[in-house]
Amino acid sequence: MIIRLDLQSELPIYTQLVHQIIEGIADGRLAPGEPLPSVRSLAADIGINLHTVNKAYSILKAEGFIQVHRQKGVVVQPGPMPGLTEEFRSRLKDQLRPLAAEAVSRGMEEEEFFRLVRETFGALTRNKGEG
């Protein structure tokens, strides 16, 4: 899997890394049980601080997307992925609200906003398993 980070983005690098790994899981480029690079290895490969990778991995572990084994290292969750919870739904709504507000402020029609969401969601589900 290729990790693409925007070092000029206002979004923290660890957050970008979390998003990239979850996207890889969502679209099938990262399979359940697949090993991920060690913290040191990934940090060296993409040229970022190892503490940044460690923070991203800690978040992914806490949210149930990866497991960390002493012998096996870091692997994509081999069992069921985290399910839908009210906490997730609430966080999703909180994250969508400013995007929707900006779209409204810029004059975007509701249907165009929904079309973009459908295209984005569909691209992830259509590509699953092609990676």
Q: CATH number for the domain including 53?
A: 1.10.10.10
Q: Is residue 32 part of a domain?
A: yes
CB 33 within 8 A of CB 78: yes
Q: Considering all CA atoms of the chain, what is the largest pairwise distance in Å, rounded to the nearest integer?
A: 54
Residue 124, token pair as written in the block:
């992830």
Q: Mark whether 39 and 67 lie in a shared domain.
A: yes
Q: Is residue 6 part of a domain?
A: no
Report pTM. Answer: 0.84
Q: Mark whether 51 and 101 lie in a shared domain.
A: no
The tens-digit pLDDT sequence of the chain (131 residues) is 789 999 999 999 999 999 999 999 999 999 999 999 999 999 999 999 999 999 999 999 999 999 998 888 999 999 888 888 999 999 999 999 999 999 999 999 999 999 999 999 998 888 665 54
CA distances from 40 to 18, 30, 50, 53 (A): 16, 19, 6, 8
User: Residue 118 sits in which domain range?
Assistant: 86-126
The number of distinct structural domains making up the chain is 2
